Amino acid sequence: MRIAIASDHAAVELKAVLREYLIGLGHEVADLGPETADRVDYPDYGYKLAAVVAEGVAERGVALCGSGIGISIAVNRNPACRCALVGEPLSAALAREHNDANVIAMGARLTGEDMAKACLDAFLGTDFGGGRHGPRVSKLSNPQF
């Protein structure tokens, strides 16, 4: 699977660990940055990740920042992205099964490496359930205000 990964400065170390983990699982990984722990703005990297997923360059995305909150908000500004902030595997699996999430977000200050890997495994190993969830997911990309 083609997976894009991006973070802010607070999550650059976790990003490196998860990038290597994903490569070890046989995935093609595009690291969208940053390269160092120098301060950056998470929206810039969230928007970059969202564009790559929305354009189909990557099938899935992994968004990381200190809490996971800010970057998930940035990713979700793109109507083609459904980014779920998770901290444990059940939420990661349900995000795929019920919401067809194509991006997972986690907080490096809140989620340890082993838990982050478990969340990735659940996220990547779960298919969208379809059925009654399909029309609801369609509404996520086509809001009716």
**Active site residues per annotation:** 65, 98
Rounded CA-CA distance 29/19 in Å is 7
Give the CA angle between residues 123, 126, 84 to the nearest 5°: 40
Show Cβ contacts of residue 78 under 8 Å, excluding neighbours closer than 6 positions.
Answer: 47, 50, 51, 53, 54
Give me the residues paired with residue 9 across strands: none
**What is the Cα gyration radius of the chain?**
14
Residues in a beta bridge with 63: 6, 105
